[in-house]
Amino acid sequence: MALLNRLKDLRGERDLTQAALADLVGVSRKTINTVENGVFVPSTILALKLARALGCTVEAIFSLEEE
Amino acid sequence: MTEVERADRMSRGGVYIKALAAAVLLLNVWLQYGDAEYSAAGPRGGSWLVLIGLWVVVLWTGGGFMLSRRLRSLLNDELSLQNRSRALAFGFYAALALAMLVYVANWYVPVATGDAMKIVSAGALSAALLCYAWLEWRWR
């Protein structure tokens, strides 16, 4: 079951660059890039930090692909 | 320049340094193969062990001991930690494969103990360094 994410869209809606979001959550820009591209599945802690930085729920960012 | 941008730049620099270090280690093994001076338990052999040990420490810990805590945490975030553990696992399997290769090769050609140790240690470390460099570079 694949993990989908709307991180790029949500970040764009808030006019945040990858570097700015990375700064907010305390990770490298590369990590944000890999999460957006679905290459890297973040930990629960990072997912919660991303949600807090974007002012939304974790479920608004990540979801499971329907089979 | 923000710390995230600085970490980005340092991470990219680290990729090239690790790839270069791997190339130098392999070149050294190739050029010095069969030279007893380099494999003997003297200053050269000892320096080699220290060099290998230092690179293992860098790969294991992420290095950057003189950097600020924030920069170090950016350079060692969870993606980099994952990449490092994958690289170390790759190096471990490379060491196993190289050790078996040297073992089998020694049935046909004589290989000095020092040379065998250099082949296995440099080969495994280079494999780990190149693996890490590749993982870090590919989604930069």
ipTM: 0.86
The structure tokens listed for A49 are 């930090």
Tell me if A25 sits within 8 A of A50, measured CB to CB.
Answer: yes
B2, B73, B140 ranked by CB distance to A30: nearest: B140
Distance from CA of A28 to the nearest CA of B (A): 5
CB hemisphere CA count around A55 (13 angstroms): 4
Average pLDDT on B93-110 reads 96
Strands, E assignment, A1-67: 3-5, 62-64
Chain A residues with CB under 8 Å of B80 CB are 28, 31
Strands A62-64 and A3-5, by their bridges, are: antiparallel
User: Which of A8-12, A31-35, A52-56, B49-53 has the least mean pLDDT?
Assistant: B49-53
Residue of B nearest to A34 (CA): B139
Note the pLDDT of residue A6: 93
Nearest to A27 among B5, B74, B140 (CB): B74
CB-closest option in A23, A40, A42 to B4: A23
CA distances (Å), origin A3, targets A31, A38, A59, B115: 16, 8, 11, 48
Q: Which domains does chain A have, with CATH numbers?
A: 2-65 (1.10.260.40)
Quote the pLDDT of residue A50: 96
**How far apart are alpha carbons A59 and B29 in whole angstroms?**
52
| Cβ–Cβ gap A27/B3 under 8 Å | no
pLDDT at B39: 67
Task: Render pLDDT for A22-33 as a digit per residue (tens, 0 to 9).
Answer: 999 999 999 999
pLDDT (0 to 100) of residue A61: 95
Predicted local confidence at residue B63, as pLDDT: 83
Does position B140 have pLDDT exceeding 70, yes or no?
no
* Average of per-residue pLDDT values in chain A: 93
**Residue B22 confidence class, pLDDT cut points 50, 70, 90:** very high
Q: Mean pLDDT across the stretch B17-22? A: 95
Average pLDDT, chain B: 90
**Would you say B135 and B39 are in contact if contact means Cβ atoms under 8 Å apart?**
no
For residue B131, what are the CA distances in angstroms to A3, A31, B27, B71, B136? 26, 18, 18, 23, 9
pLDDT band at residue B49, thresholds of 50, 70 and 90?
confident
CB atoms closer than 10 angstroms to residue B51: 17
Q: What is the pLDDT of residue A3?
A: 87
